[in-house]
Structure 1
């Protein structure tokens, strides 16, 4: 089959599930991943024949997309803060709004500063690794409860040529932290069960539940625990950064204020309060 014919088949198959623009993006990502071809290559050679092996891989990816599996899991990679990251079913797919959390930290600290950083709930390692890449003199550590996620994060540290100290631990069961830090950052689970009805299928059915959801009756349990630990393990003048649930911004800010943090909320690219900083008094 020629690639132009398969492209038509690809668009027709997914037409009822995704907008045409998104289908086009999927096709370009897959042709780059599976064939090593750019959009220009495709435009210049639409009559290129697909081998039986290539066609089989494309068809498999197409069927996975029909089941609403995220394209990042199909290709096994994504980009975050200009860096490449491996991702799989054990890790959340990094979001663009989380890049803003990283940028906020970088805006507050100079590249030459020898600071210590802890990322709690690191997942793919996207926050910790991005900070290590842009703060080369920083000593960066990262914690996660999932051993499988840490394996992915370790691969990503090697891929991006940075050193991060990865620690397997359940932060909710921790009585203390391994050191004192200038920066503690976390994007913990914060989506309440009641908010699941607003989630897309690709998130609900594929991304790891333990990294996303909290019980409705205690949605701030991670923020409470982390801010408690941070109040004892941040150095003088240290800062705590959170990605937060926009619907619980006031409650989360009040929680940090109770722990004697000076707080500041920040909106993301979508205009919602998505980030919170606590400065140790």
Structure 2
């Protein structure tokens, strides 16, 4: 019994040794590929860490403005995507995969895939264009066609807005390439036109009222006097009323400040009208 156990153990060792001898040559063939793959992965890791540290330090710099930070963020995303694609191709080549042959054979399939994904590619290309041309930035109030709101985020494929009703709106980037974009936040001034009806019997008082209102507008610190001077004139004459038009350019300001400035102009104009003995009229015929 003991001799049989010794025999079985001996035969087991012989079989294991023969298997190891048969397997060792085939395993050694993969050592160069493993070494090349390790070198590629190490180099990719070094590039990734260097890229991350570079963009982190650049965006943390106090001298960098908000627009520059957005452009750096876009470059960070693009470089990460490029590094991933090149890394996969380099790793495949290091492992002995013929990437060029795969790309050549898959050319027809790639065309079909690109045609099917044309909307996604269009959004990505439009996203790149938005990141570098910068027609608007985060925080700007814009209008593009029927879409209007404040920009919250400019992504690679979509842009997030908050509309005037405070609802989130996700817009595909390709939409902006076919629409006229109005960026209200970058305007140096905003036109304000108000029409005030006066009684028809106060028509003789309109010239002094108009002159004093124009003087009030020129002295108002919220009025932009760069291009067009403030105006106040008789714009309409009906049987029951005379219409006085007050126009000016208000400086760029927040929405609440804009409403407060327009209210202040109307209140001062009403005081001037009453000061000259005139009264507001009715537009009812």
Larger Rg: 2
Q: Relative contact order: is structure 1 or structure 2 higher (C-alpha 8 Å, sep ≥ 6)?
A: 1
TM-score, with structure 1 as normaliser? 0.25
More helix by share: 2
